[in-house]
Structure 1
Amino acid sequence: MKELNEGYVINIQHYSVHDGPGIRTLVFLKGCPLKCRWCSNPESQKNNPELAYNSDKCIGINQCGKCIDVCKYKAIKKFDGKILIDRGHCIQCHKCQDVCPSKSLSVYGKRMTIDEILNIVEKDRMFYSRSGGGLTISGGEPFNQPNFTICLLKMAKERRINTAVETCGYTKWQYLRHGSEFLDTIIFDIKCIDSEKHRKYTGVDNKLILDNFNKLCEVFPEKLKLIRTPIVPEFNDSIEDITEIVDFIKNKPNVEYELLPYHRLGQPKYTYIGKQYIMGEIKLNEEKFKRLEAINTIADKRRSV
């Protein structure tokens, strides 16, 4: 079945040292059930390949215009010397990308087989053996393509590759449980304990996420679980928010906790895919972040790991 052997991949990133033990190769998959306001990978949210346009690379319609000529659906229009994509008419055929000489038009997401992915991943094997690294599947949400992700993990273990996954936890327990059988490290986001606030800022409540985390700890107590919280201004940057998360995860087996500072590095990609970055120019207070990290330091001393 194709859903077992083929999936939509956004990017494969080499030499990462922040997404699991050692030096990792990150495979970013398409699709996510959450719509976090601050998402740094907005191109990962939709399930299928998505056309992107970087106007800074465009050489202009006076010099080119090939994309306008090739689009049968009139989804590309002239605008201020360059182009504007009418995404209501675009059918994602991506013929415009094929003729774009400047690569200002590109596509986020392509279909790849498991063998294609693992053959790329294995090129980094020498770094894994020296550092204890391996493959990390990220996204998006890996379990948004559940059967593909599980098969990718299983075949990676058959090749004796250390495995990790970065998950938001919003998936059916059966998928998370099956996938965890082939995982060495589970990187699990817990963004907020307050369900209504979680729904407001991510689009879903967190009951399924918290239930899945509790089940993970019960069924897989021996596996390392790295819990991450992105600290987002006006969402979860209070002492109360982080204390609630610390209290929720404390005394769980083989759990580590990490706070991640909010950033806007993914902001340009919103423009590329025709979306608005609704977080605006808001910034994280560095002093406040340090105070929140201090709560985590105290928690580390009293939590069973």
Structure 2
Amino acid sequence: MKGIIFDIKRFAVHDGPGIRTTVFFKGCPLRCLWCHNPESIDPNPVCVRTTALLNGHEFTDEKMVGYEISVDELFIELQKEQVFMDESGGGVTFSGGEPLLQNRFLEEALQQCKNHEMRTAVDTTLFAPWKVVEPVARLADLFLVDLKHMNARVHQEFTGVSNRLILENIRKLSALNVPVRIRIPMIPEISNTTENIAQCIDFLKALPHPVEAVDLLPFHNTAKEKYKRFHLDNHFVDSPSMQKEELFDIRNQFEKAGFEVKIGG
């Protein structure tokens, strides 16, 4: 079984507990206007041409973003840092893009990790049919789930898809008592509003089992160079990155509601 990924990030500390190796899958069904991995959206490998000026001379370079890899080849790469992952309580995080788009490849990779006692997490939007999610839920040790917005209309406007399926899948995972960590991107004037925060808290409190924790992800504008490189519209090009201090009040609201909260991934 082969899949298409675009990066492997080693010694990651923001994609789940401990020291982790994060595998970024190509392809995403959402079109979040604030996406910080726009190179992940297209499911196929793409050739990107970049130009640079040096001493008045223009240089052009081409780079393929995305490549095919087998489960066995991927696992060889994952094993290289297993000692650090084991000692830190970390593991492997499958991210993207949306790893559930390549669910068969994901399942085989998760099974390979399970066979070798390597802890796993799946960083996902959960925008997939339950028949795709359920087999992954039996294999993964942890789900890192994006909760982008509670309002269906706003979610559709800024991500291109409805949140109905996502919310249903969160409820179903909770009913199975699958470990879930909720990640909320705090986008100025979109998700970072009093109404949306209150609705997030109410939704999470009503789940059959408590979530592991809530991560508040401050908006950052570090991907603007990627948007230039891939010739994509950047709707937040002039928006400044948020500081952690701006989310202290929201963190307090979640903590008062009984949640463990972290600012950042």
Q: Normalising by structure 1, what TM-score?
A: 0.80
Residue in structure 1 matched with residue 229 of structure 2 by the alignment: 272
Distance in 1 between the 2:232 and 2:252 partners? 36
Letter in 2 for 1:267: K
What corresponds to 2:251 in structure 1? Answer: 293
| Alignment correspondent of 1:43 | 39
Query: 1:159-178 counterparts in 2 under 5 A?
Result: 159-178=116-135
Tell me the CA shift for residue 44 of structure 1.
0.2
The alignment's C-alpha RMSD in Å is 2.1
Rg larger in 1 or in 2? Answer: 1
* Contact 1:51/1:273 (8 A) holds in 2: no
CA 298–211 in structure 1, closer or farther in 2 if over 3 Å, else same:
same
Give the Cα–Cα distance (whole angstroms) in 2 for the partners of residues 118 and 299 of structure 1.
40
Distance, in Å, in 2 between the alignment partners of 1:53 and 1:224 is: 41
Task: Using the TM superposition, give the Cα deviation of residue 21 of structure 1 relative to its aligned residue in structure 2, in angstroms.
Answer: 1.6
Partner of 2:26 in structure 1? Answer: 30
TM-superposition CA deviations, 1:13-62 (whole Å, max 9, x none) = 00111111211100000000000000000000011001223323x669x9
Residues of 2 paired with 1:297 and 1:254: CA distance? Answer: 13
- Residue type of the partner of 1:10? F
1:6 correspondence with 2:5: no
In structure 2, distance between residues paired with 1:34 and 1:233 = 19
Residue 232 of structure 1 contacts residue 284 of structure 1 at CA under 8 Å; is this kept in 2?
no
CA offsets 1:198-255 (integer angstroms, 9 cap, x no match): 0000001100000111111112x1x321001000012111121111011101153241
Which of 210, 215, 220 is 2:172 aligned to? 215
Contact 2:224 2:237 in 1 (8 A): no
Tell me the CA shift for residue 132 of structure 1.
1.1
Matches of 1:149 and 1:164, distance apart in 2: 11
Please list every run of 5 or more consecutive structure 2 residues that lacks an aligned counterpart in the other structure: none
C-alpha distance in 2 between matches for 1:239 and 1:28: 32
Aligned length in residues? 258
CA contact (8 A) 1:54 1:272 kept: yes
Secondary structure of the residue aligned to 1:181 is: helix
* Offset at residue 288 of structure 1 (A): 4.4
SS in structure 1 at match of 2:83 = helix
Distance change >3 Å, CA 48–CA 301, structure 1 → 2: closer
Report matched runs for 1:210-289 at 5 Å: 210-219=167-176, 221=177, 223-252=178-207, 253-255=209-211, 256-283=213-240, 286=243, 288-289=246-247
Structure 1 consecutive aligned stretches of length 4 or more whose deviation exceeds 4 Å: 284-288
Question: What is the Cα deviation at residue 110 of structure 1?
Answer: 0.2
C-alpha distance in 2 between matches for 1:239 and 1:44? 31
Q: Aligned partner of 2:226: which letter?
A: K
1:54 is paired with a residue of what secondary structure?
A: strand
1:135 to 43, 67, 92: 92
Q: In 2, distance between residues paired with 1:48 and 1:59? A: 32
Q: Percent identity?
A: 33
In the alignment, what sits opposite 1:16?
12
Distance 1:155 1:224 in 2: 20
CA distance in 2, matches of 1:271, 1:284: 18
CA distance in 2, matches of 1:35, 1:160: 35
Work out the CA distance in 1 between the residues paired with 2:259 and 2:54. Answer: 57
The aligned residue for residue 146 of structure 2 is 189
CA contact (8 A) 1:51 1:106 kept: yes
SS in 2 for 1:166: strand
Q: How does 1:101-120 map to 2 (within 5 A)?
A: 104-120=61-77
Match for 2:101: what amino acid? N
The CA distance in 2 between the partners of 1:172 and 1:302, in whole Å, is 29
